Structure 1
Amino acid sequence: MTRIGSSDLDVFPLALGGNVFGWTADRDASFQILDAFHAGGGNFIDTADSYSAWVPGHTGGESEAIIGEWLAARRPEGVTVATKVSQHPDFTGLAAGNVRAAAEASLQRLGVSQIDLYYAHFDDAATPLEETVAAFGQLVTDGLVRYTAVSNYSAERIAAWVRIARELGVAEPIAIQPHYNLVHREIEQDIVPLAVAENLSLVPYYALAKGFLTGKYRSTDAEGHVSPRAAGASRYATPQGLQIIDVLDRIGQDHGVSIAATALAWLRAKPGVVAPIASASKLAQVDDLLDGARTDLTADEVATLDNVSEWTPADM
């Protein structure tokens, strides 16, 4: 287990992404995935109130509702659930009243009395940051939320959030959820140093680059792949990207684990990272995620992957 920031949340060093629940994984498949993850020691689940509003016929909140059903049916002990606000069609943005209403709706769908970790999903330039920070602080004061966090914020805005929270005397964020993986390392220039300096744990999403870092996509042509993310993943399959896959494959074989597990292990080894987020739409994929949380790379292996991934794909 590993500690999130300055909190008392001890979590498995990988978060199970709930974005697929109710989308590419129906209720039964989602229950199987959650059961296997928990049986393997997993206790950290990440979702958002907007998952999966993009699916025709969905309204948002489908993932939270499935997780809530699973929590009620299984009553697992020590599970940490993180969710987010700002993108649900009925609760867009981060105005104070909206944050409150969205949190109450998430609590109802999850069937819990308190949200363990509540993220501002995307920055809201239309709402003064002071208003948003105060609203999140009030949720903690009122007991609806244990800890707060931010996702998809710039380093400058994260620093401003922390400063404002201190000035207002309200709860400070304990975590940052950024886009971070072996083919997307830009945050190492600004967000990572800030996170380390402020003891803000990193919980990266797209940890497997939309599936590219599983090794399934070896061509920039997505034809033949049925995954909804195939087009995004295959864009990384350039000569440089495939070189990363080859190195992951070699290192993974030395540890007896998959390419995906090795990519997750690399991310876990980076400064500030407490638990990458990865999702599974099929039960068979869960073991790779669990391996990624249990595999520790050597310093030389991390350095090798650092060197081969010193490349930023164009237009990513």
Structure 2
Amino acid sequence: MNLVGASDLDIFPLVLGGNTFGWTSDEAESHEVLSAFVAEGGTMIDTADGYSHWVPGHSGGESERILGSWLAGRDDRDDLLIATKAGSHPEYRGLSARSVKAAAEASLGRMGIDTIDLYYAHRDDPTVLLEETVRAFGDLVQSGKVRYIGLSNYSPDRVREWLRLSAELGVPRPIALQPHYNLVARNPYEDRVAPLALAEGLGVLPYSALASGFLSGKYRSAADAVGAERAAHVSRFFSPAGLAVLDELHRIGSRLGEEPASVALAWLRSRGEVTAPIASARNVVQLSALMAGARLKLNREDVRALNEASAEGGMVQYEDAQQEDAP
């Protein structure tokens, strides 16, 4: 188990991403994945209030509602850790104090819980003074509606400014960062975010850990991704560099008897500052490879081989997309 930053949140080394709930997985499938994740030792589930407003006919909050309907039938809420995010729901855009408070209360209502264990600012809002946002998140902690604060998609400079303001205002500081990071998108995370996380003692829970499914190994060419829900996001990785990473994942996986997805997640966990990667599963079959990746330990030679293979492919620069806010 791993502690998230300077907190008492002790988590299984894989976080289950909830962006598939109500999008690529219906309610019954989502419940099956959630139950299987917990049955195998999983503890933290990550979602956001905006999931999945990009789907035609959806308005946001679908993932939280499905998570709430699953939680309602269980008596182990105290053993589970729920993370969600503010700022992307169409009705509560941005991070003004009013939006943050309303978004948190709406999320609590959709999930049927009293407290959010880890509440992220989903992305920076330059239209609002950062001090206002910092105070709003601090108020949620002090009111008992939120236990801990996290930041997602924030630049290192803005993270530093948030930390400075937290100390200046005397409010709880963030304990976690949720950056975009994987074998084919290694920067700017490694150059700019990782050193900050280490220096400040922040937990790191990277999203898009499998690069929209590219690192799962199910696509070996761009043609394989045609018609897939995430085809537009996967297509950018079908370069000679990206395919070299896939080849190495398959080579190592074949030797170890593991799926490429498991190897990709184990590589992320080999990074000392990474607390746990976030990955999602459309069904229970996909979940098995994720859980294996949470337990697999790569040797130094395998880590070095993946580092070398991804040196070129890992330079893909991430462009924000609603569907990829969590893996």
TM-score bracket, shorter-length normalisation: over 0.9
Residue identity matched to 2:191: Q
Shift of 1:235: 2.4
Deviations, residues 100-131 of structure 1 (Å, cap 9, x unaligned): 01001101111111000000001000000011
The residue number in structure 1 matching 2:192 is 190
Aligned residues: 315
Establish whether residue 97 from structure 1 lines up as the match of residue 98 from structure 2: yes
Distance 1:69 1:37, change over 3 A: same
Q: Tell me, in whole angstroms, the C-alpha distance in 2 between the residues paired with 1:184 and 1:161.
A: 25
**Paired residues for 1:135-214 under 5 Å:** 135-186=136-187, 187-214=189-216
The residue number in structure 2 matching 1:120 is 121
Establish whether residue 313 from structure 1 lines up as the match of residue 302 from structure 2: no
The residue number in structure 1 matching 2:217 is 215
Q: Tell me, in whole angstroms, the C-alpha distance in 1 between the residues paired with 2:300 and 2:113.
A: 41
Q: Tell me, in whole angstroms, the C-alpha distance in 1 between the residues paired with 2:181 and 2:316.
A: 13
Name the stretch that deviates more: 261-270 or 233-242: 233-242
Deviations, residues 272-300 of structure 1 (Å, cap 9, x unaligned): 11111111112210100100101011122
Deviations, residues 179-198 of structure 1 (Å, cap 9, x unaligned): 00001011100110000110
Q: With the length of structure 2 as denominator, give the TM-score of the two structures.
A: 0.94
Shift of 1:57: 1.3
The residue number in structure 2 matching 1:71 is 71
Distance 1:190 1:215, change over 3 A: same
Q: Tell me, in whole angstroms, the C-alpha distance in 2 between the residues paired with 1:86 and 1:230.
A: 26
For structure 2, the residue ranges without an aligned partner over 5 or more in a row are 320-327
Residue identity matched to 1:8: D
Establish whether residue 35 from structure 1 lines up as the match of residue 35 from structure 2: yes
% same residue: 53
Q: With the length of structure 1 as denominator, give the TM-score of the two structures.
A: 0.97
Deviations, residues 229-278 of structure 1 (Å, cap 9, x unaligned): 02321321211111111111121223221000100000111131111111
Q: Tell me, in whole angstroms, the C-alpha distance in 1 between the residues paired with 2:206 and 2:273.
A: 10
The residue number in structure 2 matching 1:58 is 58
Q: Tell me, in whole angstroms, the C-alpha distance in 2 between the residues paired with 1:132 and 1:185.
A: 29
Q: Is the 8 A contact 1:219 1:238 kept in 2?
A: no
Counterpart secondary structure, 1:90? coil
Establish whether residue 284 from structure 1 lines up as the match of residue 285 from structure 2: yes
Runs of 4 or more consecutive aligned structure 1 residues displaced over 6 Å after TM superposition: none
Residue identity matched to 2:269: R
Q: Tell me, in whole angstroms, the C-alpha distance in 2 between the residues paired with 1:294 and 1:193.
A: 25
Distance 1:165 1:314, change over 3 A: closer
Distance 1:11 1:53, change over 3 A: same
For structure 1, the residue ranges without an aligned partner over 5 or more in a row are none
Q: Is the 8 A contact 1:222 1:234 kept in 2?
A: no
Deviations, residues 80-103 of structure 1 (Å, cap 9, x unaligned): 110000010000000011100100
The residue number in structure 2 matching 1:255 is 256
